[in-house]
């Protein structure tokens, strides 16, 4: 049986906030760190990485969401720890 076309084929979703506050605080570097994490672990087929506009938590940023759970104060150096805790 095949999955409906609208069903997400990925096991996990990572959403990086690209609102102006998170962007100015370095979420462009966070995207690069997430992409490197995904590539280095061979997770391209099981993870969807997307960006979004402001998530409304600017003062707590930079922000990402992992499977719908917001994580604030993210830095590229902490991506591996954050994703290991939430994905494994």
pTM of the model: 0.83
Query: Each residue of 30-82: pLDDT tens digit?
Result: 999 999 999 999 999 999 999 999 988 899 999 999 999 999 999 999 999 99
pLDDT at position 6 is 39
pLDDT at position 5 is 42
Of 47 and 9, the one with more pLDDT: 47
Per DSSP, which regions of 1-88 are E strands?
Answer: 12-17, 47-52, 63-66, 69-72
Distance CA 34, CA 5 (A): 26
Query: 12, 16, 11, 10: which is closest to 67 by C-alpha?
Result: 12
pLDDT at position 10 is 78
Which residue is associated with the tokens 């996990």?
12
């Amino acid at each position: 049986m095949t999955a409906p076309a609208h069903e997400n084929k990925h096991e996990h979703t990572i959403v990086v906030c690209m609102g102006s506050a998170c962007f100015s605080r370095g979420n462009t570097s966070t995207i690069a760190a997430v992409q490197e994490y995904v590539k280095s672990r061979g997770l391209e087929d099981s993870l969807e990485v997307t960006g979004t506009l402001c998530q409304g938590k600017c003062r707590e940023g930079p922000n990402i969401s992992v499977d719908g759970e917001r994580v604030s104060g993210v830095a590229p150096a902490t991506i591996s720890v954050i994703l290991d805790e939430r994905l494994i």
